[in-house]
Structures are given as structure tokens and as C-alpha cells.
């Protein structure tokens, strides 16, 4: 059962959102906003694959035990954070390639999307934080009729917005 914020229970972070640097925070923020909109408890952490490798691994190893279901990880450049996270957990990992200064995020995208067979990272678009959250919600909705209804209503609103924008 997924504990939504609307329920009077202790909020376990169902989705953990990790980022390699505080400089990624603004890009990652839409993920937090969408999870909030769907009342899904989440936690945001700055944890770097190369600057805080031990802390990253400890955090991820403990995540499943405390009830976290999905990990979103955003990183830029040689973006190995989602890969190292996926290496130490069987929780689904969704990677967000962050747009980098030198290569416009192509480096981040390829670093995240090109995981060798065996350790998957579901990769969204460069700076695609909103879709990372929506994909996480779709996975959670597999066991939550309440979330499925919310997703359907979200899609209906998207549809209405497009139709209203026609002149």
C-alpha cells in the first residue's frame, strides 16, 4: 500500500530524489512539485557519486529498508550518480540528465542512458524532471487505484489545456 500525504500516517519518503550538486536543485525542482501535487511523500538529497561515494551508497542501501519505492537521481557531466545508485539497489532508478555547460547535457544523457545490460536506469530527457516524477507515479500507480485516478485526471487537464489553446 502506498501511503499518501492525505492519510494520517507517518510520511515515509516513497520517492527519494537525489542530485549530484546543489547546482542541480532548480532543474530538479519540478519533480518535487509534481510529487507534491500527487501527495506522494518525497525527500530531496544532495549526494554525489564522486564527492560523497560512501554516503551515497549508505543512503541508497538503507532506502529500501525504510520503505522508499523509487529513486530519482539527477546529475550532469560525467553523470554516474544514477548508475551507482542503481548498482546498489533493486529499487527502480530514474535518471535525469542535467544540462551541462560544456556539452549542453549530451554528456549527461549518454552517461545515464547507456547503462550496460544488467543494471537498468530509466532515463528521461535532458532536464526532464517533470517526466521523472510522472514516470515514478505511473510505477506507483500499478498498485494504487487512487494514484491511477489522479493520473487520469492529470492527463485530462493536459488535454483540456491543449484544446483550449486552439484559436
Residues forming contacts to ligand RP5 in the complex (CB under 6 A) are 20-21, 23-24, 48, 75-77, 98
- The CB-of-34 to ligand RP5 minimum distance in angstroms stands at 20
- The CB-of-7 to ligand RP5 minimum distance in angstroms stands at 33
C-alpha Rg value of the chain to the nearest Å: 16
Other CB atoms within a 10 A radius of the CB of residue 143 amount to 11
Q: Which C-beta is closer to ligand RP5: that of 21 or that of 131? A: 21
Q: Where is 118: in which H helix or E strand?
A: none
Q: Which C-beta is closer to ligand RP5: that of 9 or that of 55? A: 55
Place of cell 488535454: 159
CA distances from 5 to 11, 18, 134, 154 (A): 7, 20, 17, 18
- The CB-of-78 to ligand RP5 minimum distance in angstroms stands at 8
Q: Which C-beta is closer to ligand RP5: that of 30 or that of 76? A: 76
CA distance 146 to 50: 39
- The CB-of-126 to ligand RP5 minimum distance in angstroms stands at 11
Supply 125's cell numbers: 530527457
Q: Which residues pair with 15 in a beta bridge?
A: 42, 70
Beta carbons of 16 and 66 less than 8 angstroms apart: no
Q: Which C-beta is closer to ligand RP5: that of 7 or that of 26? A: 26
Q: Which C-beta is closer to ligand RP5: that of 17 or that of 98? A: 98
- The CB-of-142 to ligand RP5 minimum distance in angstroms stands at 29
Query: Could you tell me which of 95, 91, 97, 96 has the C-alpha nearest to residue 140?
Result: 91
Amino acid at each position: 500500500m502506498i501511503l499518501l500525504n492525505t492519510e494520517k500516517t507517518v510520511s515515509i519518503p516513497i520517492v527519494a530524489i537525489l542530485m549530484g550538486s546543489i547546482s542541480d536543485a532548480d532543474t530538479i525542482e519540478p519533480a518535487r512539485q509534481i510529487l507534491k501535487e500527487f501527495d506522494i511523500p518525497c525527500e530531496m538529497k544532495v549526494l554525489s557519486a564522486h564527492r560523497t561515494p560512501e554516503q551515497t551508497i549508505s543512503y541508497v542501501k538503507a532506502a529500501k529498508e525504510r520503505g522508499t519505492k523509487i529513486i530519482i537521481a539527477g546529475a550532469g557531466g560525467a553523470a554516474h550518480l544514477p548508475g551507482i545508485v542503481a548498482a546498489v539497489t533493486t529499487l527502480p532508478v530514474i535518471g535525469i540528465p542535467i544540462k551541462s555547460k560544456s556539452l549542453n547535457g549530451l554528456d549527461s544523457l549518454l552517461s545515464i542512458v547507456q547503462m550496460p545490460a544488467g543494471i537498468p536506469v530509466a532515463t528521461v530527457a535532458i532536464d526532464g524532471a517533470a517526466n521523472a516524477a510522472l514516470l515514478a507515479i505511473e510505477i506507483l500507480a500499478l498498485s494504487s487505484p487512487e494514484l491511477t485516478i489522479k493520473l487520469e485526471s492529470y492527463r485530462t487537464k493536459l488535454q483540456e489545456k491543449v484544446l483550449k489553446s486552439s484559436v
